[in-house]
Structure 1
Amino acid sequence: MSAAQSLPSEFDRGIVTTVHQGDCAVSGDAGLTYSTVLGSCISACIYDPVARVGGMNHFLLGMQSGTAKDRYGASARYGAFAMEQLINLVLSRGSGRKSNLSIKVFGGGKISAALDDVGAKNVEFVREFLAAEGYAIASSDLGGNFARRVLFKPVSGKAFVKRLDSSAEAGVAREEIAIVRRGPVVAPVDNDIELF
């Protein structure tokens, strides 16, 4: 049986847009599906059923360390910024009412001993962040010892999660380890003012 045949019919047609680590995307396009692959990372899928608008993010670390925060500023790679960014985008394109938002969260697996407890810290972070902001989690698939692929329909708020096999999991682990070891990346500042 092909992967497409094992998907619910809503997910087996239309345009699939990949949400990579550090990305955030929002849409109300009925033909669009967001897709991401998670190991220890977290992805939130937020939906406004009144406006039929939804979005997905993907972040690796819950919070920046104090020194990284001071040196590099906010980045979608970190959960606090990624969550605020996604919530604000869905609110601005949706009904504007926080009470309308439905939030689903996925990921936080322990897929490599080299990543220590990054996944568990991410799960703790996203639960605490949403509780502090007054949001309830509508559904979740968090933790475990596996990677997962998440598909999300922003116009309906429906999500589909598939646990990945060990070969796919090894690739996800390698990518996440490389990102964690590399550390924050400084983006060049694009100034339009020249000082003399």
Structure 2
Amino acid sequence: MVATNSLPPEFDRGVVTTVHQGDCHVSKDLDLTYSTVLGSCVSACIRDREAGVGGMNHFLLAEQPNATSEKFGASARYGAFAMEQLINMVLTRGTGRKSNLEIKVFGGGNINSALNDVGARNVEFVYDFLRNEGYVLSGADVGGTFARRVLFKPHSGRAFVKRLDSTDNARIANDELALVKRRPAVRPPADDIELF
């Protein structure tokens, strides 16, 4: 993982696919780079070291965590779905062995005071999720009061993080606030099945 302002050469060529809020992409293409911009949102970058298959998700909790009596609220199930979806896709396309997974987490910045530090709650959720599922985190760049641009090479697992300035923070904060206000919480059916 690299945190700097100059782009390493390996990220300056090939195909770039943007990962938007709610997306989950997986590939083993050598020349592919996943790119996303995160404010209080979180992205996990997960790779099967042996198979060279990796992916990125991007999620923002859609309602305040205190909305229900559950530990993280109904919206945390959306985060759980995003994590389960990415892990299952990488396992399916890779070796199928959880021990081969390399997991990096990015985002969770506190860039909008109107969101009651959703970023910190997102980071707490992801760390708890990984710990409860028995996964070990290989790297992270989370928290702070800034947005980030994250580039991830799914085949090599290399990540590049650029911290964005206050102009970008304001734009991203407004976009996230608009999403939270208009998007209903995603609730899976009561009998949903967890695949691992």
**Are residues 153 and 117 of structure 1, via their aligned partners in 2, closer, same or farther at CA, if it must alter by over 3 Å?**
same
Pairing of 1:82-93 with structure 2 (within 5 A): 82-93=82-93
Q: Find the counterpart in structure 2 of residue 141 from structure 1.
A: 141
Q: 1:73 to 1:159 in 2, by over 3 A?
A: closer
- CA contact 1:14–1:31 (8 Å) conserved in 2: yes
By how many angstroms is 1:185 displaced? 7.0
SS at the partner of 2:106?
A: strand
Aligned-partner Cα distance in 2 for 1:59–1:152:
16
What is the CA deviation profile of residues 131-161 of structure 1, one whole-angstrom value per residue up to 9, with x for unaligned ones? 0000011000010000000000000000000
Aligned position for 2:192: none
Tell me what 2:191 maps to: none
Read off the aligned partner of 1:165 and give its amino acid letter. D
Q: Which residue of 1 aligns with 2:190?
A: none
**Code of the aligned partner of 1:16:** V
Query: What's the secondary structure of 2:170's corresponding residue?
Result: helix
For the residues of structure 2 that align with 1:74 and 1:175, how far apart are their CA atoms? Answer: 20
- Distance of aligned partners of 1:106 and 1:112 in 2 relative to their CA distance in 1, 3 Å threshold: same
How far did residue 168 of structure 1 move?
Answer: 1.2
Letter in 2 for 1:15: V
1:145-160 alignment runs, 5 A limit: 145-160=145-160
Q: For residues 32-47 of structure 1, what are the structure 2 equivalents within 5 Å?
A: 32-47=32-47
Whether the aligned pair in 2 keeps the contact of 1:62 and 1:79 (CA below 8 Å) is: no
Q: What is the Cα-based RMSD across aligned positions, in Å?
A: 2.2
Shift of 1:53: 0.4
Say if 1:62 and 1:121, in contact at 8 Å, map to a contact too: no
Q: Distance in 2 between matches of 1:93 and 1:127?
A: 24
Provide the TM-score with structure 1 as the length reference.
Answer: 0.84
SS of 1:37's equivalent? Answer: strand
> Is the Cα–Cα contact under 8 Å of residues 61 and 75 in structure 2 kept in the other structure?
no
Q: Which residue of 2 is the match for residue 98 of structure 1? A: 98
User: 1: distance between equivalents of 2:76 and 2:185?
Assistant: 11
Change (3 A) 1:175 1:62: closer
Residues 62 and 75, structure 2, Cα contact 8 Å, conserved in 1: no
CA contact (8 A) 1:62 1:122 kept: no
List runs of 5+ in structure 2 lacking aligned partners.
187-196
Question: In structure 1, what is the Cα distance between the partners aligned to 2:114 and 2:101?
Answer: 36
> Is 2:121 the counterpart of 1:121?
yes
CA distance in 2, matches of 1:6, 1:146: 18
Which structure has the bigger radius of gyration? 1
Conserved in 2, the CA contact under 8 Å of 1:62 and 1:126? no
| Structure 1 residue runs without a partner (length 5+) | 187-196
Distance 1:126 1:82 in 2: 10
State the shift of 1:165 in Å: 1.0
In the TM superposition, what are the counterparts of 1:41-120 in structure 2 within 5 Å? 41-61=41-61, 66=68, 78-120=78-120
Task: Find the aligned partners of 1:173 and 1:11 in 2 and give their Cα distance.
Answer: 26
Deviation at 1:183, TM superposition (A): 3.0
1:112 positional shift: 1.1
What is residue 184 of structure 2 aligned with on the other side?
Answer: 184
Taking CA–CA contacts closer than 8 Å with sequence separation of 6 or more, which of the two structures ends up with the larger relative contact order? 2
